[in-house]
Amino acid sequence: MTNQQATEFTHTTVLLHEAVDALDLSGERAHGTYIDGTFGRGGHSRLILEKLSERGRLIAFDKDTQAIANAAEIRDPRFTIVHNSFATITEALAQLQIQHVDGVLLDLGISSPQVDDAARGFSFRADGPLDMRMDTTRGISAAEWLAHEDEEKIREVIKNYGEERFAFQIAKAIVACRKTDPITGTRQLAQLVAHAVKTREKGKDPATRTFQAIRIYINKELEDLEVGLDAAYAALAPQARMSVISFHSLEDRIVKQFFASKVKVEQPDRRLPIRQTELPQPKMRLVERIKPSEQEIAVNPRSRSAILRVAERLPDGGLQ
């Protein structure tokens, strides 16, 4: 494992070698073009560049301005960074005049530097402004959203994106509080949630699910994931692979269902006069599913919930 320095915060890339090895950058494939859809602090990107030949190429994406600043330190003509979500893969490749790629890696969720920097507002462990935006140059902050959104929508977000059973009580408390006291700090929101949650999960702060829900909603993480998976698949050349790391059940469910939709095909009625060559064919095959080793979890506890899923586009899938 390698640690990447981002100002005073460090980030240990989860499943670093497993995710990159899954792309199979050996032989002729080392000459290909690849996408790192979530640059973060560059752990996966740097390892991919090490394995690529001089003819290879890597296009990385990230919404975070600090990640973009870190990417600017890579002085490699084979490397291109795009300041945007991986949901814009189609548009970015068109601008770069690239038709197909030989592999895509997505490392979902947020990075340790984002969590550890109180100024970003992702965590309640240290007090900071309630921002939560991955791209601080676009969109509205969590504080702005909580100040104006109606109670029903807040409840819906906390319930659906946080899988929080006390979403009704939390939303009600937020709306009641903001009438007299604007909710602008992370500790303030965490304390409010703690008073509204009746029971606590062992080893988990009562505000964890609420913070996750608001972060996912503010950054449109699940919407970007659904669009990005479609765009990544469309860009894959035959026998190219997609390597995706997820960190919570909502992300993993989307990835799992997406791969399943490409692997499974609906068979027509056998009584119909259809030739074998006309039968629908699977578009991808599942390659592997990997979780962090006990050793990695011991070194980096934040990796414990990670799941890596890998699938390969089949030649018979046809190019879009």
17 is in an annotated binding site: no
**288, 282 in Cβ contact below 8 A?**
no
> What single DSSP character describes residue 72?
T
Give the Cα separation of 285 and 263 in Å (integer): 6
- Residue at 129: amino acid letter: P
Helix axes 186-196, 208-218, angle to 10 degrees: 130
44 is in an annotated binding site: yes
- Residue at 238: amino acid letter: P
From the list 134, 90, 128, 92, the residue with the least C-alpha distance to 111 is 134
Please identify which residue in the block is written with the tokens 């602090």: 41
318 is in an annotated binding site: no
From the list 2, 90, 19, the residue with the least C-alpha distance to 309 is 19
Tell how far CA 275 is from the center of its chain. 41
Looking at beta carbons, which pairs linking 8-11 to residues 24 or more positions away fall under 8 Å?
A: 9/112, 9/113, 9/116, 9/117, 10/112, 10/113, 11/40, 11/41, 11/43, 11/111, 11/112, 11/113
- Residue at 31: amino acid letter: H
Give the Cα separation of 183 and 144 in Å (integer): 9
320 is in an annotated binding site: no
86 is in an annotated binding site: yes
Give the Cα separation of 15 and 211 in Å (integer): 25
CB atoms within 10 A of CB 172: 15
Annotated binding site for S-adenosyl-L-methionine: 42-44, 62, 86, 107, 114
- Would you list which residues are annotated within the binding site? 42-44, 62, 86, 107, 114
